[in-house]
Amino acid sequence: MHYTAMDNCRLFFDTYAIDFNELESPRVLEIGSQDVNGSIRACAPESFEYVGVDFVAGKGVDVILDDPYHLPFEDGSFDIVLSNSCFEHSEMFWLLFDEIMRVLKPSGLFYLNVPSNGYFHRYPVDCWRFYPDSGSALVTWNRRGGGNAALLESYTSKQSKGVWNDFVAIFVKDEVFAPRYEGRVTDRLVDFTNGLSRGRDGIVNEQTILEDQSAISLVRRFIRDHLKRRLKVRA
């Protein structure tokens, strides 16, 4: 678990938990819930019923999955589904997205956090990185299969104490219920890039050069300038 993963999930609950106040005990499902150096379970309000699934037994795992593309729950079972640093390890994440939409209630939310950069880390495989249009692409996939999902917002968070830029996307299962969710993480968060928000035109804080690329350019410039100075001294 890296710092920004926890920070982004806290922002999600700080922004959207209020929309479930009328429910006595909203049900939350986390995909890939094993506690490895921390868990986003700690971000959920105590009044929420929390179920964690993973492929192996471990701390934070309530249900062990036999099939990575089948969730052993009935249709419309959960109010919120969370997935943090999991989709990059799914060979066919779009099939998992279908399952998540199936187990969500029509008004339910899916919170997705997945790397937009970072090193190769197998668990047991490492297949994907997500860019700013990835959330919209998943909506297109869902609707092609007869669903009616909508993207409420997405953004890429800045690095903090590490190498990761997190791509975060928040979906509602049925677009009919989108108007009930008025708050946006991107209204609270300042330090992000390439944000998309339902009801706002264009990309917020658009940045075509990614943070890693900017850092590499600065290092190259420093080395180039340093070499130029040394050559002048020798001359």
What are 107-131's pLDDT values in tens digits?
A: 999 999 999 998 899 888 999 999 9
When pLDDT is averaged across residues 102-110 and rounded to a whole number, the result is 98
How confident is the model at residue 173, as a pLDDT? 98
What are 189-228's pLDDT values in tens digits?
A: 989 999 999 999 999 999 998 888 888 888 888 888 878 8
What are 181-198's pLDDT values in tens digits?
A: 999 999 999 899 999 999
Please give, one letter per residue, the 3-state secondary structure of the chain: CCHHHHHHHHHHHHHHHHHHCCCCCCEEEEECCCCCCCCHHHHCCCCCEEEEEECCCCCCCCEECCCCCCCCCCCCCEEEEEEECCHHHCCCHHHHHHHHHHHEEEEEEEEEEEECCCCCCCCCCCCCCCCCCHHHHHHHHHHHCCCECEEEEEEEECCCCCCCCEEEEEEECEHHHHHHCCCCHHHHCCCEEEEEECCCCCCECCCCCCHHHHHHHHHHHHHHHHHHHHHHHHC
In the sheet with 49-54, reading across from the earlier edge strand, the strands are: 63-64, 49-54, 27-31, 78-84, 104-115, 166-172, 150-157, 192-197
For the chain, the domains span: 3-204, 208-235
Task: Say how far apart CA 154 and CA 134 lie, in whole Å.
Answer: 9
From the candidate CATH numbers 3.40.50.300, 3.40.50.150, 3.40.605.10, 3.40.190.10, the one assigned to the domain spanning 3-204: 3.40.50.150
* Residue partners of 22: CB distance under 8 A and separation at least 6: none
| Percent of the chain's residues with pLDDT above 90 | 80
Mean pLDDT of the chain: 94
- For the entire predicted model, the pTM comes to 0.93
